[in-house]
Amino acid sequence: MYMDSMLDCDLLVIGGGLNGTAIARDAAGRGLSVILCEQDDLACGASALGPALIHGLTPGSQAIDFPALRIALTERDILMRCAPHISKTARIVMPQTGAERSGWKMRTALRLQNLLAGRDLLPAAREIDLLHHVAGGALRPEYSHGWIYSDGWIDAARLTVLNALDAAEGGAKILTRTACREIQRSQEGWHASLRGSRGISTGIRTRALVNAAGGGADDFLQAALGKRLSARALHLTQILVRRALSHDYAYLLHAADGRQVHVMPQEPGYTLISALGSEEAEADVEADSALLCETVNRYFTARIAPQDIVWSRSTVWLSPLDRQARARQVHADYSLEMDSEEAPLLSVIGGSIGSARQLAEEAVNCIASRLGCHGGAWTADACLPGGDLYGLAPSSRSIVEFSNFVQAAKQQYSWAPAALIARWARCYGSRIHKLLADCRDAKDLGAQPLPGLYEAELRYLMQAEWAQTAADILWRRTRLGLALPKEAEAALDGWIAESTAQEFAAAV
Ligand SMILES: Cc1cc2nc3c(=O)[nH]c(=O)nc-3n(C[C@H](O)[C@H](O)[C@H](O)COP(=O)(O)OP(=O)(O)OC[C@H]3O[C@@H](n4cnc5c(N)ncnc54)[C@H](O)[C@@H]3O)c2cc1C
């Protein structure tokens, strides 16, 4: 078949979500030549989440599994130290319900969590009197007692982009808006056909393949090779309501059907409500949204209705089917299926934000040895781009003293709006100095196509972080979309088209 160009590599990663980019980063850092293709923008699938909980294990919700809990807590801390600028402490409140009358199970689970978690990063779990706690103010009076525990918030979309950035800086080629259409075994290993958004076709000769297509991994394998993964599809529904909580606490509630519902404050003035997994063949976003509203109304005094929803989505997520396969992996929330008839083809099933680094490490361990690459695991001790706030090595200081970093940046760039510097410090960490390298005063920030969004940032995102459209910028590189009116997206797309045309005209 005719291809516009041909490329060779050791490893082709299909899918630019968190798992795919983490694998590309790890493999590139071990010296493999890597190409990653993403059919849309980076982090446009499950990883499009903004702030999400890192370890996500709910105390008391399942049988206590010491090794799994220890690993999840350790990974959470590694992630927060490696990417301190995009992480924050999350405090989660669980109101006690009638079904949990004695609460002994929860007390035991929280004691265990306190025992296993390091105490230098996050506050300990404890019981709380909700009648006298700020998080209790929004709840109905019957919820007078509960528990509070810690996890980390991390911006999952930015984490994905930072993994891609680190992969690229390690030599990987990142091709966004490029779908993998076909794969075939070949003498070298695999031949893959990619197609870009302008119809440009690229052939890839690769020694190994990773199928990290997220919720589409099973369909991809079925279409490409007629094989199925050992996975079940779950639908995860999220709704965003225009309702502000007067504090930063999140809540963990239980829906009438037993599902866990997370209620999480989002800036500015929104609340994100999500339910973990229904296993229906087709997602029923309307029914799920109604269930989420009903759950919130059972716990909170202020009622919400489907009309309050400003945005909703249901995403397909794969979960490993085979419990034994799951148990063989270090983390129990994913499995890696290797099709090793000849050249390696590894498919990723499931995972979570907290397990992505380790999943990538295991995936690359499997592949690297088959490709004769002997580079060892390295990502647990390496900051993600911008995470080196106080030295190159990941440190707790970067989390604990993050506000000092912001303060110092505000002083250094005292000519720039303080709110802009605070936002950039959260988004770009130490890379803020790169964004501002050529700026001496406010006019060097350039035009401001939207309030608070300057040309200096737009150029950086388009040149260094693969942003091409307003949606890439407003929803996946920043979360400014939440604070801006709907028309903002079209206005920014107009600015991007105009400035791209001007650059093109200047170049020819
Ligand atoms: C609603 C929801 C809420 C969640 N909440 C949490 C949470 O609170 N905490 C937590 O730890 N985890 C959470 N998770 C799980 C977490 O988001 C994922 O584990 C993580 O984002 C990794 O996703 P991924 O990379 O495997 O898939 P995705 O992010 O979906 O990436 C797969 C990518 O592959 C691309 N692709 C597909 N086919 C092709 C092709 N043929 N060619 C090129 N590209 C292709 C897609 O466009 C997509 O971008 C949640 C997931 C969902 C869906």
Q: Which residue has the higher pLDDT, 62 or 235?
A: 235
Question: Is the distance from the beta carbon of residue 47 to the nearest atom of ligand 1 less than 6 Å?
Answer: yes
**Averaged pLDDT, 96-117:** 77
Residue 330 has pLDDT above 50, yes or no: no
C-alpha atoms less than 13 angstroms from C-alpha of 490 in its C-beta half-sphere = 3
Atom of ligand 1 nearest to the CA of 181: 41
Q: Please tell me the least confidently modeled range out of 315-319, 327-331, 387-391.
A: 327-331
Q: Percentage of residues in the chain with pLDDT exceeding 90?
A: 65
Residue 278 has pLDDT above 70, yes or no: no
Residue 128 has pLDDT above 90, yes or no: yes
Question: Is the distance from the beta carbon of residue 38 to the nearest atom of ligand 1 less than 6 Å?
Answer: yes
Q: 3-state class of 503 per DSSP?
A: helix
Residue 61 has pLDDT above 70, yes or no: no
DSSP letters of 338-395? EE-SSS-EEEEEE--TTTHHHHHHHHHHHHHHHTT------GGGSPPTT--TTSSS--
Report residue 244's pLDDT band, with 50, 70 and 90 as the boundaries.
confident
Q: Which has the closest alpha carbon to 481: 315, 311, 353? A: 311
Type and span of the H or E element at 404: helix 402-412
Residue 331 has pLDDT above 60, yes or no: no
Atom of ligand 1 nearest to the CA of 20: 25
Question: Is the distance from the beta carbon of residue 37 to the nearest atom of ligand 1 less than 6 Å?
Answer: yes
Question: Is the distance from the beta carbon of residue 212 to the nearest atom of ligand 1 less than 6 Å?
Answer: yes
Q: Which residue has the higher pLDDT, 69 or 422?
A: 422
Q: What is the pLDDT of residues 23-57, one digit of tens each?
A: 999 999 999 999 999 999 999 998 987 678 887 66
Q: Give the distance, in angstroms, between the CA of residue 442 and the centroid of all CA atoms in the same chain.
A: 32
Q: Which has the closest alpha carbon to 275: 72, 222, 396, 285? A: 285
Read off the pTM: 0.94
**Which pLDDT score, from 0 to 100, does residue 458 have?**
97
CA distance 336 to 264: 31
Q: Which residue has the higher pLDDT, 248 or 508?
A: 248
The mean predicted confidence, pLDDT, of the chain is 90
Q: Percentage of residues in the chain with pLDDT exceeding 70?
A: 93
DSSP secondary structure letter of residue 78: H
Q: What is the pLDDT of residues 366-418, one digit of tens each?
A: 999 889 888 899 999 999 999 999 999 999 999 999 999 999 999 999 999 99
